[in-house]
Every structure is written in C-alpha cells, then in structure tokens.
Amino acid sequence: MRALRVWLGATAVLGVGAVVADRTMRRTYGRPPRRDGTGSPPTGAIEVQIDAVNGSRLHGWWFGSDDPGPAALVIHGWGGQASDMLPVADVMRGLGLNVLLLDARGHGSSDGISVASMPSFADDVRAGLGWLRSAPGVDPARIALVGHSVGAGACLFVASGDPEVAALVSLASMADPSALMAGMIGQYLPAPLTRLALRYVEHVIGHRFTQFAPVHTIGRISAPVLLLHGEKDTTVPVTDARRLHDLAPRNSELLVVADADHFSIEGLDTAEPRLRRFLQDAGVLA
C-alpha cells in the first residue's frame, strides 16, 4: 500500500509539473495569437506561397528584381507577422537587396501549427531559404538572414548548420530559451521538478534546447553575425546580446541601440550606416 501511495504521489507531482510546463511553453511558444493576416502586398511586392514541412504552405511577400543581386530573408518574432517587418524590408531594399518577408506557420496568412517554437520557425526559414536560392534575380552566394526575437534565434539555428548563409542580422535574440522558461516555471515548481518540466517541453517540440538555443548555436556559425539589441529591452535583456557576442564568430559585431526596446524595429534605420558596412564586409553588398 505504501508503494502505491508513493507511486500515486509521484504521478500527481509529475502531472502538475507537466501542466505547468505546458502552460509555460504555450505562453512562451505554443499557439500564437492569430491576427487578421498580412493583408494585401505593399507597393513593390508580390505575394508568394512557399512549400514547407509536412505539406504546409508559407505566405510571403517578395520584393525582387530581374538583375542578379543580393537578397535578405526577413522573419518576424513569436506572435508577429510579415507586415511587422516592413520597416526592416525598407532598410534592406534601400541598401540594394531583394527581400523576402515570411509569415511563420501559425502566424499571418501562413498555414497553422499546433505548437510554434524556435525549431518550427527554423524549419520555415529553411523553406524560405530554399525558395530564395532558386528565385530569379538572386545571387545564392549573397543571401543574408534577418530575424527578430524568436525569429532571430531560428536564423541562428539555421545558419549553424548551413555554411552557405553569407551573413546574419539578429534583432533582439534571446541567448537561452531554457533559462527563460526555467525562470517562469520556477515560480511554481521546485528546481528538480523544473528540470523535469523542461524535459517535457523538449519532448513536445521535438528538440533539446542544446540543439537550438542561440547560446549553443552561435559558435557553430561560419558567417559573420551582427547582433542588434535595444538598450531598454525589458523582454530580452541586453545582457543576452553581450553573452552571444562573446560566443560569436570572430568577424561578428554587437550594436546596442540607445533608447530602443524589444519592439523598436522601426529604429533600425538609425543603424543603417553600420549595417551597410557589415554587409559589405560580409560580401553581401559590393
């Protein structure tokens, strides 16, 4: 009888841990809040549909040209959509790049997904990158990845396994999502159960944090990385960017933007001279 009580107690505790982990995961990742979709393409763009994993389809906007040249794939963060990244697209186009803006699955006008996570964003970036490399007017050797927040972490994950990526621009990437989730789960569970809860999250998303967390992937990237981060970011502290910079490839750079927060994407134009030089040094721009 005592053994049965112990087993029932352990099962109940693990069940509570799983519930807390599931709720935390869905708050951090999970099913993002659907908005009204990305709407009609802006001036200069055409709407594209891109084949993604498991037969799903991604929606995107393509700002292209007929002359072979450099390109940037731009992806939003969790809960965002392509239209949120138009200020970034404007800066990139002003520098002379073709631009593909993507909606990740579960966001904007792309197909849905039960749990959107950094690895699922990475799958979508890979699909977009494959499309971009075969697009007319794109030099596949001069493609940069640009991501915001979770999208930035996804771009780092992709680039860590793809040496053909020419450059990467990270906007407000977190360093370690497991540390973020552990802090949230730890408000409700003791440390041993928090560790078990994190294993549950890994099971649900199908990847270990050590496979995709930026703190683990950035050192495996061969391309130069530009880390842009708002000094007043309260969602992902600027210390995350400094930690990533310490681990980044030698030819990488850190730019902390004064008075910018986690969502100050429109402030990217203030960093345009630094961005231009970075892309020139990376060989993306002539």
- Calpha distance 138→65 (Å, rounded): 8
For the CA atoms of the chain, what is the radius of gyration?
Answer: 20
203-247 residue pLDDT tens:
988 999 999 999 999 999 999 999 999 999 999 999 999 999 999
Report the b/e string of 93-126 with b at 16+ CB within 10 A.
bebebbbbbbbbbbbbbbbebebbbbbbbbbbbb
Q: Is 286 exposed, middle or buried (0-12, 13-18, 19+ CB in 10 A)?
A: exposed
- Calpha distance 165→218 (Å, rounded): 13
Residue 3, C-beta contacts closer than 8 angstroms, at least 6 positions apart: none
Q: According to the model, what pLDDT value does residue 36 have?
A: 59
Give the full edge-to-edge strand order of the sheet including 167-171. Answer: 46-51, 57-63, 98-102, 69-75, 138-148, 167-171, 225-230, 253-257
Q: Is 128 exposed, middle or buried (0-12, 13-18, 19+ CB in 10 A)?
A: buried
Q: According to the model, what pLDDT value does residue 8 have?
A: 26
- What residue spans in the chain does CATH classification 3.40.50.1820 cover? 41-176+213-281
Lowest mean pLDDT among 15-29, 71-85, 120-134, 164-178: 15-29
Q: According to the model, what pLDDT value does residue 37 have?
A: 60
Greater confidence (123 vs 137) lies with: 123
Q: According to the model, what pLDDT value does residue 227 have?
A: 97
Q: How much is the pTM?
A: 0.86
- Homologous superfamily (CATH) of 41-176+213-281 is Alpha/Beta hydrolase fold, catalytic domain (3.40.50.1820)
**Encoded tokens for 23:** 């709720």
DSSP 101: E
Average pLDDT, the chain: 86
Q: According to the model, what pLDDT value does residue 186 have?
A: 82
Residue 12, C-beta contacts closer than 8 angstroms, at least 6 positions apart: none
- The amino acid sitting at 149 is S
CB 222 within 8 A of CB 251: no
**Encoded tokens for 179:** 């540390």
- The amino acid sitting at 54 is N
- Calpha distance 29→178 (Å, rounded): 12
